[in-house]
Amino acid sequence: MSASGFAMNIAGDHAQVVLISVFVAVLCLCLVIGHLLEENRWLNESTTAIIIGCITGTIILLLSKGKSSHILRFNEELFFIYLLPPIIFNAGFQVKKKQFFQNFITIMLFGVIGVFISSSIITAGAWWLFPRFGFTGLSAQDYLAIGTIFSSTDTVCTLQVLHQDETPLLYSLVFGEGVVNDATSVVLFNAVQKLDKSKLNGWAALRVLLDSLYLFSTSTALGVVAGLLTAYTLKTLYIGRHSTVREIALMVLMAYLSYTLAELFHLSGILTVFFCGILMSHYASHNVTQSSRITTRHIFATMSFIAETFIFLYVGIDALDIEKWKLSKLSFRTSVGIYSTVVLLISLGRAAFVFPLSTFSNYVHRRADRLSSISFKHQVIIWWAGLMRGAVSIALAFKQFTYSGVTLDPANATMVTTTIIVVLFTTLVFGFLTKPLISFLQPHHTNNNTSHGEPRSPKEDLSLPLLSLEESAETNILRAKESLSMLIERPVYTIHNYWRKFDDTYMRPVFGGPCRDQSAC
Amino acid sequence: MSASGFAMNIAGDHAQVVLISVFVAVLCLCLVIGHLLEENRWLNESTTAIIIGCITGTIILLLSKGKSSHILRFNEELFFIYLLPPIIFNAGFQVKKKQFFQNFITIMLFGVIGVFISSSIITAGAWWLFPRFGFTGLSAQDYLAIGTIFSSTDTVCTLQVLHQDETPLLYSLVFGEGVVNDATSVVLFNAVQKLDKSKLNGWAALRVLLDSLYLFSTSTALGVVAGLLTAYTLKTLYIGRHSTVREIALMVLMAYLSYTLAELFHLSGILTVFFCGILMSHYASHNVTQSSRITTRHIFATMSFIAETFIFLYVGIDALDIEKWKLSKLSFRTSVGIYSTVVLLISLGRAAFVFPLSTFSNYVHRRADRLSSISFKHQVIIWWAGLMRGAVSIALAFKQFTYSGVTLDPANATMVTTTIIVVLFTTLVFGFLTKPLISFLQPHHTNNNTSHGEPRSPKEDLSLPLLSLEESAETNILRAKESLSMLIERPVYTIHNYWRKFDDTYMRPVFGGPCRDQSAC
């Protein structure tokens, strides 16, 4: 018997090693099956992982004769401390910053205002409908929590189908909303948990709003500082001179440190690590050697990929925790009623903000160019992309309705099982339909959108008058006039452009990054 | 407050987040300081990490007013399940296989026979000397365990100073012995722990030997199978076609799976993961895309680096766990006596096998070429390189003398503190002296050894007659005669050569790897 075999003996058995082995082996299986199904029309990685998870859970249940519920229980700590940070950091690190910031206002509308609208509708709907099925026992705070739990979307399924190069605007909106939505719903959920239950009034709502604003700004600031500090350290010390391993380690550790520091100061680690990722890919990754740059990009992607697959697997296995099912004493009809109510409310709550906010966004961008507006088909895809519920919902539900994964209250147990069912249903059924739906809505538009989004963007026109001194005066005046009218019509682009100038002049020389060619701007 | 903030509240406080933040922050500090001290003559990464660990431990102690002993306690599970596997796997992955296998017999002499000799001497010496200082209370099994605990070396310090290209033979011996030694001492320790205390006789010794042999062969086989399976999967499915992330994830997960499976079957995970690493770098890493190859190499090196730094940091912090010190009720004089006895026994035990076994190895290799023999200066360096004790010693000591890190027995507490002191002393003091000693022993030999080791190796002469058909018959006959005499004189080289032929003909076409140029063989 070997070393960690002994370590296990202290705990009385091999349980942990068995558990790790099973999980790692099943993860490998998911990888290989995911690879084989890559070109499949209906299945994707998430649904595969959930199905394999369910199968694994069944096998474990059968082997342990129904005693293994403890092993299969969802562990929020594991989720929030180890699995979520790499996913969010990688989102920030790989995001196409230009598109993200060009569509910043629309993304924020969807990701912040959208969550508020959606959770209000879900809360109100649940409050009104749940008692009609004979399901009672939830407090006002529980209903508020339900609203936030079912407002956190999981856009992974859709993102696997969309292509960043084919539909850049759509991809950027779905991707950006997904990240901001995660952060908003966790922040909102925490604000709801902190609410004084006796005082639910207008002031409380205002406090939730102010709390969220404070969290947003401080968390972002911490992430930015962490990213800049890493970039500055790497640039000044030029750590790659002695060892590439050290610079890779420093980037990974600083990214994780930003998350844990945010948690330490009771900020939103998700937002912090997301902005840290953006800053690191913008500055720090230019201060390392070529091989470190390739490596960090792959490390973060791989960690995120493993964490994501692990979560879906875990959700699948967790669904087989039979104790929860025993506790929830509702009839089959009531249960189905509740499940369908929640799914209906999710669709309604999402429709209630996607279509109005898209129209609003189109109205704001109306003057600039018609082609960058969000078409109705795209609105449907955005609506659909956010119907899936994922691991964040499960983690929040466990947080609200259990104590360390255990609950003895039937109403709470019902809410946990409802969350699991909703996550399974939306991921599997809606996930199955995503590929066909999108190919139905965008049958032959694969290359058209590229020609809309990119070359039409007025960045070049704006930046040239300020940078190129060699050109003729006439051209310059013409361009200056254009850019003036642009400034009036498209404030976001203009702010973005001034940021680029500021970035080139002050930030990049200090924190690193390639000096842009004037013509490439 | 954010998500994992809540997760922590379940446990009642922020303790885990605080702990992770502190560790990650201090790790970053170690990285940066290690970089700044890169060219320093006296300090190296390990000693820096231990010193920073001690400082951190002191600060934590002061801040928590002496209450934090629980936080600072060494956790064997963390060590054996999470920190050791990446280090050993990376050792296998980065090892220069040609040199490792050319010096295989010498490495095995040092790493296996050496540990047996060294632990016998330390056991006998401790048994004889400890009671003379008035220190009693240890069982026969404890003494046997002490022998294995203090036979596990930590060659990191020396390897940081030696250079693989300058002194390939020396580097390969020190490196190879370090890995084999770790495995042997853990295997031997486990065999000792399984001993029936009432029957310590010749049969028991034989059983320990047979047990170890069984573990060696099965663990190696498992590692080889895991490595070949990964290579075969990557080659057949060509996973990088769809996603480089998936192939990287598969390599990392399969490597870890081999370790946990070994632990599951009560084998030696260290050996398994080491051979899995060798096989993966030999076959699997040729079946992935170029960027994945760069990435995996760096990922494994980075993980190993972080784990190593973490361990040294941890050992430093652990030294400040005051409860252990309070329990050990010996006088200052007795304590110093025990510490110096152990350090003395370590040096003796090591000298007792390095010099005789080197002489033996030189005798065996005598006929071939004088220049690949181990000079006396090199013997001194090999002896010195293995004087440092590290994290494995600490982990084994905690395993033997505590129960989940806690002990109430004064004799056991004394052995734990003795181990910590010995590790600190050897790493700090001997570590400090390593750089000066080696530059004293090898003042201007930096480039001579390269010219000895490489071009003199007779591989080329051996392989050509079997592979190149274009050459003239005369040359071939001449070469054949040479290689025949070589076969008689240098069996290891010849075996190695036949292995290369087998590898090229049967293994590489199935499991991947570049087809060697005939001239490059």
For A301-366, give the DSSP string.
HHHHHHHHHHHHHHHHHHTT-HHHHHH----HHHHHHHHHHHHHHHHHHHHHHHHHHHHHHHHHHT
Contact A5 B190 (CB under 8 A): yes
Report how far residue A277's alpha carbon sits from residue B273's, in angstroms, rounded to the nearest whole number: 32
Q: Which residues of B touch A245 (CB under 8 A)?
A: 298, 301-302, 305
Across the interface, of B1, B243, B246, the residue whose CB is closest to A194 is B1
> What pLDDT does residue A449 have?
38
Q: Say if residue B241's pLDDT is above 90.
A: no
> Which among A302, A303, A311, A407 is the top mutation candidate for probing chain B, defined by the most B β-carbons within 10 Å of its own β-carbon?
A302
Q: Which residues of A touch B14 (CB under 8 A)?
A: 263-264
Candidate from A39-48, B173-182, B192-201, B245-254 with smallest mean pLDDT: B192-201
Report how far residue B235's alpha carbon sits from residue B246's, in angstroms, rounded to the nearest whole number: 13
Residue in B284, B310, B393, B323 with CA at minimum distance from that of residue B52:
B310
Do you know the residue count of chain B? 521
In angstroms, the separation between the Cα of residue B201 and the nearest Cα of chain A is 21
Report how far residue A343's alpha carbon sits from residue A386's, in angstroms, rounded to the nearest whole number: 12
Q: Say if residue B520's pLDDT is above 70.
A: no
Q: Say if residue B382's pLDDT is above 70.
A: yes
Pick the most confident of A15-29, A85-99, A115-129, A190-204.
Answer: A115-129
Across the interface, of B1, B193, B302, the residue whose CB is closest to A190 is B1
Residue in A468, A501, A477, A450 with CA at minimum distance from that of residue A167:
A450
Residue in A282, A257, A313 with CA at minimum distance from that of residue A46:
A313
In angstroms, the separation between the Cα of residue A453 and the nearest Cα of chain B is 26
Convert B212-221 to b/e letters by CB count within 10 Å (16 or more is b). Answer: beebbebbbe
Domains of chain B with bracketed CATH: 14-452 (1.20.1530.20), 458-511 (no CATH)
Across the interface, of B264, B291, B302, the residue whose CB is closest to A294 is B291
- In one-letter notation, the amino acid at residue B25 is A
Residue of A nearest to B76 (CA): A7
Contact B5 A36 (CB under 8 A): no
Cα-atom radius of gyration of chain B, to the nearest Å? 24
Contact A3 B395 (CB under 8 A): yes
Kindly give, in sequence order, each residue whose CB lies less than 8 Å from that of residue B210, ignoring residues fewer than 6 positions away.
none
> What pLDDT does residue A8 have?
37
Mean pLDDT of chain A: 79
Position A330 confidence tier, pLDDT thresholds 50, 70, 90: confident
Cβ–Cβ contacts within 10 Å for residue B236, how many? Answer: 12
Distances (CA, A) of B267 to A2, A154, A345, B190, B360: 6, 41, 54, 10, 31
Report how far residue B373's alpha carbon sits from residue B160's, in angstroms, rounded to the nearest whole number: 23
Which own/partner contact pairs does A63-71 have at CB distance under 8 Å and 24+ positions apart?
A66/A322, A69/A321, A69/A322, A69/A323, A71/A15, A71/A19
> What pLDDT does residue A371 have?
55
Contact B298 A302 (CB under 8 A): no
Position B455 confidence tier, pLDDT thresholds 50, 70, 90: very low
Q: Say if residue A378's pLDDT is above 50.
A: yes
How wide is the angle at C-alpha B194 spanned by C-alphas B191 and B195, nearest 5°? Answer: 90
Q: How far apart are the first and last CA of chain A?
A: 63
Across the interface, of A7, A190, A404, the residue whose CB is closest to B77 is A7
Q: How far apart are the first and last CA of chain B?
A: 62
Report how far residue A380's alpha carbon sits from residue B383's, in angstroms, rounded to the nearest whole number: 72
Bridge partners for B153 per DSSP = B389
Contact A269 B27 (CB under 8 A): no
Residue of B nearest to A77 (CA): B7
Q: Which residues of B touch A28 (CB under 8 A)?
A: 250, 253-254, 257
> What pLDDT does residue B465 have?
37
Position B68 confidence tier, pLDDT thresholds 50, 70, 90: low
User: B378 with B158: CB under 8 angstroms?
Assistant: no
Cβ–Cβ contacts within 10 Å for residue A106, how many? Answer: 24
Report how far residue A113's alpha carbon sits from residue B481's, in angstroms, rounded to the nearest whole number: 85
User: B389 with B150: CB under 8 angstroms?
Assistant: yes
Residue of A nearest to B266 (CA): A1
Residue of A nearest to B304 (CA): A245
Across the interface, of B3, B256, B298, the residue whose CB is closest to A269 is B3
Residue in B345, B429, B336 with CA at minimum distance from that of residue B146:
B345
**Interface A:B, Cβ pairs < 8 A:** 240
Report how far residue B4's alpha carbon sits from residue B14's, in angstroms, rounded to the nearest whole number: 9
Q: What is the mean pLDDT of residues A358-384?
A: 78
Report how far residue A460's alpha carbon sits from residue A521's, in angstroms, rounded to the nearest whole number: 6
Contact B239 A32 (CB under 8 A): yes
Kindly give, in sequence order, each residue whose CB lies less than 8 Å from that of residue A9, ignoring residues fewer than 6 positions away.
none
Q: Which residues of B touch A299 (CB under 8 A)?
A: 295, 298-299, 302
Q: What is the mean pLDDT of residues A307-332?
A: 79
Do you know the residue count of chain A? 521
* DSSP secondary structure letter of residue B231: H
Q: pLDDT higher for A195 or A223?
A: A223
Cβ–Cβ contacts within 10 Å for residue B39, how many? Answer: 7
Q: Is the dihedral of CA B186, B191, B195, B200 positive or negative?
A: negative
Candidate from A192-201, A337-346, A384-393, B128-137 with smallest mean pLDDT: A192-201
Residue of B nearest to A295 (CA): B295
Q: Say if residue B176's pLDDT is above 70.
A: yes
> Which among A263, A267, A396 is the top mutation candidate for probing chain B, defined by the most B β-carbons within 10 Å of its own β-carbon?
A263
Dihedral of the CA atoms A188, A189, A190, A191 (nearest 10)?
50
Report how far residue B113's alpha carbon sits from residue B168's, in angstroms, rounded to the nearest whole number: 23
Tokens linked to B35: 């970089």
Q: Say if residue B454's pLDDT is above 50.
A: no
> What pLDDT does residue B521 have?
36
Mean pLDDT of chain B: 79
> How many Cα atoms within 13 Å fall on the side-chain side of residue A240?
17
Contact B7 A76 (CB under 8 A): yes
Contact A263 B6 (CB under 8 A): no
Residue of A nearest to B2 (CA): A268
Contact B395 A257 (CB under 8 A): no
Contact B253 A27 (CB under 8 A): yes
Report how far residue B26's alpha carbon sits from residue A150's, in angstroms, rounded to the nearest whole number: 39
Q: Say if residue A139's pLDDT is above 80.
A: yes
Tokens linked to A176: 């950006």
Q: Say if residue B1's pLDDT is above 50.
A: no
Q: Say if residue A361's pLDDT is above 60.
A: yes
Cα-atom radius of gyration of chain A, to the nearest Å? 24
Pick the most confident of A292-301, B130-139, B235-244, B314-323.
Answer: A292-301
Residue in B264, B270, B267, B272 with CA at minimum distance from that of residue B226:
B272
Q: Is the dihedral of CA B66, B67, B68, B69 positive or negative?
A: positive
In angstroms, the separation between the Cα of residue A486 and the nearest Cα of chain B is 40
